[in-house]
């Protein structure tokens, strides 16, 4: 959906995304629904540099891909959670994150990543962005990110927040009985929750 025309801006859009997800899951034929900043294999690449908070004084930050997601993203796209829990669609989870197996091994090679803290460091010291710490609440199965040709990259999954890029144009993902049920649920939820938003044709 294109939320550019809505009066809500920035973080005020997050409750709308949560309501659309919840509404879709209530509709016939839908098992799970979620939202994601960068769908798998879209060909976009977005990353940040991270370091284990335990190693912040002695280790250099290392790049990983970043993706912002809603709850049930992994079950919707068929990716397993290896350990821990899913993200929740609430503000209490704003400082949580999920790592894929490659990221967990990259940042915590000698210990379990669950419960550990990871710091996202600005690319340049002059950046206005402050370092952001998140607690690792889950480990997800490795997946491709950009292309099928790549090896499994490290990915840090973050909850929706004011820092999420493209908040006016995130992607909904739906796991439904069939395409017709998914299309109907998407259209119904958008029209009920955000009727002023121009509907964008689904990507199959």
Q: Which residues pair with 36 in a beta bridge?
A: 69, 171
Tens digits of residue pLDDT in 58-114: 889 999 999 999 999 999 999 999 999 999 999 999 999 999 999 999 999 999 999
β-strand pairing of 132-140 with 96-100: parallel
- Residue 157: helix, strand or coil by DSSP? strand
Weakest-pLDDT range from 2-16, 93-107, 140-154, 183-197: 2-16
**Cα dihedral sign, 158-163-43-190:** positive
Q: What is the pLDDT of residue 204?
A: 42
Q: How confident is the model at residue 23 (pLDDT cuts 50, 70, 90)?
A: very high
- Residue 54: helix, strand or coil by DSSP? helix
Q: What is the pLDDT of residue 111?
A: 95
Q: Residue 199 CA to chain centroid, in angstroms?
A: 21
Q: What is the pLDDT of residue 201?
A: 55
Q: How confident is the model at residue 117 (pLDDT cuts 50, 70, 90)?
A: very high
pTM, rounded to two decimals: 0.91
**Cα dihedral sign, 44-6-30-181:** negative
Of all residues in the chain, the percent with pLDDT exceeding 70 is: 93
Q: How far apart are CA 80 and CA 164, in angstroms?
A: 24
Tens digits of residue pLDDT in 39-59: 887 777 789 999 999 998 888
Whether the pLDDT of residue 141 is over 90: the answer is: yes
> For residue 110, with 0-12 CB atoms within 10 Å meaning exposed, 13-18 middle and 19 or more buried, which class applies?
exposed
Q: What is the pLDDT of residue 94?
A: 93
Whether the pLDDT of residue 3 is over 50: the answer is: yes
Q: What is the pLDDT of residue 146?
A: 80
> For residue 73, with 0-12 CB atoms within 10 Å meaning exposed, 13-18 middle and 19 or more buried, which class applies?
buried
Whether the pLDDT of residue 134 is over 80: the answer is: yes
Whether the pLDDT of residue 199 is over 60: the answer is: no
Whether the pLDDT of residue 175 is over 90: the answer is: yes
Whether the pLDDT of residue 163 is over 90: the answer is: no
Q: How confident is the model at residue 179 (pLDDT cuts 50, 70, 90)?
A: very high
């Amino acid at each position: 959906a294109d939320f550019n025309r809505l009066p809500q801006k920035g973080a005020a859009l997050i409750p709308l995304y949560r309501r659309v997800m919840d509404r879709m899951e209530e509709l016939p034929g839908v098992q799970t629904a979620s939202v994601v900043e960068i769908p798998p294999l879209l060909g976009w690449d977005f990353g940040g540099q991270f370091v284990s908070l335990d190693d912040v004084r002695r280790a250099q930050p290392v790049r990983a891909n970043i993706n912002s997601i809603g709850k049930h993203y992994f079950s919707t796209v068929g990716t397993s959670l290896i350990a821990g829990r899913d993200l929740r669609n609430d503000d209490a989870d704003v400082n949580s994150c999920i790592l894929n197996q490659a990221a967990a091994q990259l940042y915590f090679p000698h210990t379990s990543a669950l419960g550990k803290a990871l710091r996202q460091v600005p690319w340049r010291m002059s950046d206005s962005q402050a370092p952001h710490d998140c607690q690792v609440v889950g480990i997800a199965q490795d997946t491709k990110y950009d292309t099928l040709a790549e090896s499994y990259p490290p990915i840090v999954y973050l909850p929706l927040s004011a820092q999420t890029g493209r908040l006016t144009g995130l992607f909904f993902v739906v796991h439904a009985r069939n395409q017709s049920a998914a299309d109907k649920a998407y259209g119904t939820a958008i029209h009920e929750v955000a009727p002023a938003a121009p509907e964008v044709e689904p990507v199959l």
